[in-house]
Amino acid sequence: MPIADVRDERLPVDQDGEAHMTGTEPTAVAAPAVAVTGSGQQLTTVPLPAGPAGSGNVIIASGFSIPVNCENIPTAAAFINFWLNDDDAAAEFASDNGAVTNARHLQAQLDNPDLPELKLHELELFQKVVELGPPAVIYPPGYQATFESAFIRAWDEVAFGRTTVEASVDAFFEEANAGLS
């Protein structure tokens, strides 16, 4: 599956020449929503579009941490080190919940001849996005409950015709601000 250049502002188009993308979450890549009818069409994953300020892609920090009240920091650190740097752990994890971030392990997975085509495409796209050096985003505690869930609810209200964009934006900010208080 070819990978589009992540700096390319064009999106895949349907048979009528219209580009569509889905995704309400801020992710490193977005999936196109193309009506697949007829033969010879293929649905694929593409990077977020670029604009004057650069790529729309970000790397979202997600992973392990050691809480300040941890009673056994060496064991916690060893556990994290195992999942981040151990070859057997990386092989077992197999990027089942997002791409591994250790470059050696990522390359080993990409080189695996048994890697399913869809997973290969996902990991190649991740590697290409990383090569461009996108900004890393660290979300604050409570982000998902405060922001992401409110955003998805607001989007759904508009998408299903239950409210206007303006009313949904107002409701989103009210809910998000209440969650941050």
DSSP string, 116-174: -HHHHHHHHHHHHHHHT-PPEE-PPTTHIIIIIHHHHHHHHHHHTTSS-HHHHHHHHHH
Q: Is 85 helix (H, G, I), strand (E, B) or coil?
A: helix
**CA of residue 149 relative to chain centroid, distance:** 16
Q: Which of 55, 54, 67, 63 is nearest to 139 (CA)?
A: 63
Q: Which of 118, 130, 137, 133 is nearest to 25 (CA)?
A: 137
Query: Is the overall model pTM greater than 0.95, yes or no?
Result: no
Q: Which two tokens stand for residue 102?
A: 């250790």
CA distance readout (Å), 122 to 2, 13, 73, 74, 119: 11, 20, 34, 34, 5
Q: Is 82 helix (H, G, I), strand (E, B) or coil?
A: helix
Q: For residue 94, is it left (φ>0), alpha (ψ between -120 and 50) or beta?
A: left
Q: How far apart are CA 125 and CA 122, in angstroms?
A: 5
Q: What is the pLDDT along the chain (181 residues), one digit of tens a residue?
A: 444 443 344 444 444 444 444 443 334 344 444 445 556 777 777 788 777 877 788 887 667 888 899 999 999 999 999 988 999 999 998 888 788 888 999 999 999 999 998 899 989 998 988 887 788 887 777 777 788 888 999 999 999 999 999 999 999 999 888 887 7
59 DSSP β-pair partners? 136
Instruction: Give residue 107's pLDDT.
Output: 95
